[in-house]
Amino acid sequence: MKFLSIVGNSFGCSASGERLVSAARDGDLQEAKALLEYNPRLVRYSTFGVRNSPLHYSAAHGHHEIVSLLLESGVEINLRNYRGQTALMQACQHGHWEVVQTLILFNANIHRSDYLNGGTALHLAALNGHSRCIRLLLADYVPSTPKFWTNNEEPVSKFDFSVLKEVVNRTSDGGITALHMAALNGHVDSVQLLLDLGASASQVTVEDGTTIDLIGAGSTALHYAACGGSAQCCQMLLARGASLTVQNANGWTPLMVARSWHRDWLEEILSKEPEEAATNLVPSPYLTLPLMSIVKIARECGWRSCDSLLASQDPCVVCLERECTVAAQGCEHEFCTSCALYLCSTNCTSSCSHGPPGSIACPLCRNGIVSFVKLPKTKPIAKEIARTSLSLSFCTCSSEVPEPPPTLTTPLYNPEFTCSQISPPGASCRPLNCQRFPSMILNSNRCMGAPHRSSSSLIPSNVDRNTRNNIEGRSSWFSALNHVMNGCGC
């Protein structure tokens, strides 16, 4: 009887987990809320084989409200699927900046790399030209100071610019950087933003035996731009100091790469050095200086208020729904944190009439905003026990060493819970879980949604691991070259 009960519970959890996956994929917020209210542990469910969690599906499809719901319900924000990808990587791959913003506010790890190519979320954002995602990923590394663009070689407010450059120039397999990928695919805005943030135009790829490099090891971003055929990317890289004479391991210069890929329109650009060095460089319109300041305020004080606005309170002039919590330094206009985040994440700085490069335009006076400050009445959010703590305290299905909990605290944020079999004091009813009978304790291996573990409780332990894990073959960053080859007649 106990075995049949376990089997029944396994199928029941699996069915509910698949319903949550469907709700996350389709953007059905009400269905997701109902399922999590019924069984909060479903937040840790993962699909068979590919091990995608509901967080992965909602992030890949851009459903930021469901992403927030899952995070507030206690899901591990850095869960990986079988490729080693996190939800942040999938959101960056598809360009869902609102999801990226939410994950960054919850302190998602931007340094995780996947198992296939060693690429990070920054590589995936640059590969597909999602400049808004790039600037959100680097929000904690770009200081809110007017001197960033004009004097970014000197320390500003104890900020180390070498750390920013190290993050931007991080390599994946084969020594490929985010700048290489953006230049290869002709994403001019992303190339300009990466260069403004310290990407090196002289960094070269390496031969590590894992990457099928059709251009050759030792190639710079200019080699990649020549292969992709983007004249604007080539001109921008040359203006930032890229060399026309550097040769890769095959002995090819950027001009020779362009010729071999039949990019005839690049002959004139790559044949001679620019006559004059570019002195008056225009910063990227996606460079947003106040982003760091507002992200810190949002993490400390929250950014979504469900309380009704009192008659005595001044509403935000942008949304007219929430109380003003921050003020723009300079013009002193006040906004709510949510609207300030939206302005920093969506606006292009080219529309700013007065202000240093990288500032965003105030929607009221068009003056440049460099940073935001909290209003005196804005208070930090006190740590509270999340609404799902009574149920999650019974779950014992963690299979990997937990990371330090994020510093973000929101009214519904669920911190890491330690495993416990003791009912919390004051609980008036038994929380819902996967057990049919309260006297039977399920093994942690059978708990649905355990990270990095098969969800099924019916697979014998003696089955070969290769049979259990259906892992796809290793792919290369250079799958992007398939699009390049289509137009060259190779």
Query: What is d(CA 65, CA 415) in angstroms, rounded to the nearest whole number?
Result: 19
416 token code pair: 């890491």
Residue 359 gets the label, from left (phi > 0), alpha (psi -120 to 50) or beta, of: beta
The answer to whether the Cα torsion of 32, 38, 40, 43 is positive or negative is: negative
Helices 231-239, 221-228: crossing angle, 10 deg rounding: 160
Give the three-state DSSP class for 372. strand
If you search the block for the tokens 């990070």, which residue do you land on?
120
At residue 135, does pLDDT exceed 90?
Answer: yes
Buried b (16+ CB within 10 A) or exposed e, 389-402: bbbbbbbebbeeee
- Up-side HSE of residue 388: CA atoms within 13 Å toward CB? 28
pLDDT tier at 280 (50, 70, 90 boundaries)? low
Tell me how many degrees the CA angle 46-51-54 measures, rounded to the nearest 5.
45
Query: What is d(CA 52, CA 85) in angstroms, rounded to the nearest whole number?
Result: 9
CB distance 181 to 170 below 8 Å: no
Is pTM, for the whole model, over 0.95? no
pLDDT tier at 425 (50, 70, 90 boundaries)? very low
**What percent of the chain is predicted at pLDDT more than 70?**
68
Give the three-state DSSP class for 335. strand
pLDDT tier at 4 (50, 70, 90 boundaries)? very low
pLDDT tier at 312 (50, 70, 90 boundaries)? low
CB distance 387 to 431 below 8 Å: no
Residue 390, Cα to own-chain centre: how many angstroms? 30
94 token code pair: 């598809």
Which domains can be identified in the chain, with CATH numbers? 291-370 (3.30.40)
At residue 69, does pLDDT exceed 90?
Answer: yes
What's the residue count for the chain? 490
- Of 221, 222, 210, 214, nearest in space to 249 by CA: 214
CB distance 42 to 13 below 8 Å: yes
Query: What is d(CA 343, CA 334) in angstroms, rounded to the nearest whole number?
Result: 13
pLDDT tier at 403 (50, 70, 90 boundaries)? very low
Query: What is d(CA 237, CA 225) in angstroms, rounded to the nearest whole number?
Result: 9
| pLDDT tens digits, 426-459 | 333 333 333 333 333 333 333 333 333 333 332 3
- In 185-333, where does DSSP find H-type helix? 188-196, 221-228, 231-239, 254-260, 267-271, 291-301
Tell me how many degrees the CA angle 34-395-82 measures, rounded to the nearest 5.
80
Query: What is d(CA 26, CA 17) in angstroms, rounded to the nearest whole number?
Result: 14
At residue 212, does pLDDT exceed 50?
Answer: yes
What pLDDT shows up at residue 467? 40
Q: What is the mean pLDDT of residues 133-159?
A: 76
Give the three-state DSSP class for 64. helix
CB distance 324 to 310 below 8 Å: no
DSSP class of 332 = -
At residue 388, does pLDDT exceed 90?
Answer: no
For residue 255, how many other CB atoms are within 10 A of its CB?
Answer: 20
Number of H helices, E strands in the chain: 20, 5
**What percent of the chain is predicted at pLDDT more than 90?**
47
At residue 181, does pLDDT exceed 90?
Answer: yes
Asked which of 23-32, 305-314, 361-370, 412-421 is least confident by mean pLDDT, the reply is 412-421
Identify the residue with better confidence: 308 or 199: 199
Query: What is d(CA 344, CA 369) in angstroms, rounded to the nearest whole number?
Result: 9
Query: What is d(CA 368, CA 331) in angstroms, rounded to the nearest whole number?
Result: 8
367 bridge partner residues = 354
Identify the residue with better confidence: 349 or 357: 357
At residue 377, does pLDDT exceed 80?
Answer: yes
At residue 256, does pLDDT exceed 70?
Answer: yes
At residue 285, does pLDDT exceed 80?
Answer: yes
What pLDDT shows up at residue 410? 34
Helices 29-38, 64-72: crossing angle, 10 deg rounding: 10
Query: What is d(CA 46, CA 17) in angstroms, rounded to the nearest whole number?
Result: 8
